[in-house]
Amino acid sequence: MAFLGDWKAVVNAHYFSNILLAVLYFILKTTPTVCTFLFEDCKLEIKEWEWITFLGCVIVLKNRKEATINKYVSTTCLFAKMLNLVMFFKQSPGLGIAYCVLCLLQFIFLPEPTYQGPEHVTYFRGPHLEEELEKDTRVRWFITFYAAWSPNCMQFAPSFSEVSAEYSLNNLKFGKIDVSRYPAVAEKFKIDHSAWSRQLPTIIFFEDGKEKTRRPLCTKHHTLKFALTKENFVKEFELNEVYNQCKKNPLVVRKKKDD
């Protein structure tokens, strides 16, 4: 069922147009009527076949650890479009520029779809995070430490929002803090927030007001790779078990008696 869900995620205009752009050079070069108008030769050159073969090898290597089909498709199309651009420019600078314009229009008008549903996420500012963690230690928190400029953070954001909508309780909450704006917070929790950091985003699970688990894990010299998907998030943090524990022991809110 998860596999079918992944395929449904790529059945939309963004991915169709992305795939079309990824194979556009091949289509134009092998379609007789169009080819004779745009190119001098309607057959792929040996050099071009070599490039395509090399592209296939690069895609296989880059996609070995991709966790979802949509990421696999996106990565494949990205490298394929780069090769398309090179081959179009090789034929004619005008064709190369036209292809760039097509890619730009696709990026603007058919962006990659993101989660548009509800979320239950608290956005913290500086010291407010620690204050909230200490306010009521009965509440368990999942906090994402992110940077607005990080592509990985942007990709993970919809998954975090979706999980928050599904699992949020009065004693199980989700929050985010932008460490690019509050670097002191990143330093306190020992998170590298530099431009070359491999620790963004970092998700930390707080129980009793203290850190219990974090991903990605960091050793003295390395940051262990962590696939940023909803499935891995739920699995690595044992979120279903945490949710059931919290649901069995909800916070009791006492109502004030009227005088």
Residues 53-70: what's their mean pLDDT?
80
Most confident option among 8-17, 111-120, 128-137: 128-137
> Using CA atoms, how far apart are residues 221 and 148, in angstroms rounded to an integer?
25
Radius of gyration of the chain (CA): 24
Average pLDDT of the chain to the nearest whole number? 88
Beta bridge partners of residue 174, listed in sequence order: 121, 142
With a cut of 70, say whether residue 66 has pLDDT above it: no
What's 143's DSSP letter? E
Q: Which residues of 234-259 are buried (b: 16+ CB within 10 A; e: fewer)?
A: bebbebeebbeebeeeeeeeeeeeee
- Domain(s) labelled CATH 3.40.30.10 in the chain stretch across 121-248
CATH superfamily of the domain spanning 121-248? Glutaredoxin (3.40.30.10)
Residues 117-125: what's their mean pLDDT?
93
Whether the ω angle into residue 201 lies within 30 degrees of 0, i.e. cis, is yes
Higher local confidence (pLDDT), 204 or 1: 204
Query: Which residues are CB-neighbours of 112 under 8 A, at least 6 positions away?
Result: 14, 74
Question: Pick from 193, 114, 214: which is nearest to 146 by CA?
Answer: 193
Residue pair 187/195 in contact (Cβ under 8 Å)? The answer is no
Lowest mean pLDDT among 8-17, 22-31, 41-50: 8-17
pLDDT confidence of residue 9: 65
With a cut of 70, say whether residue 254 has pLDDT above it: no
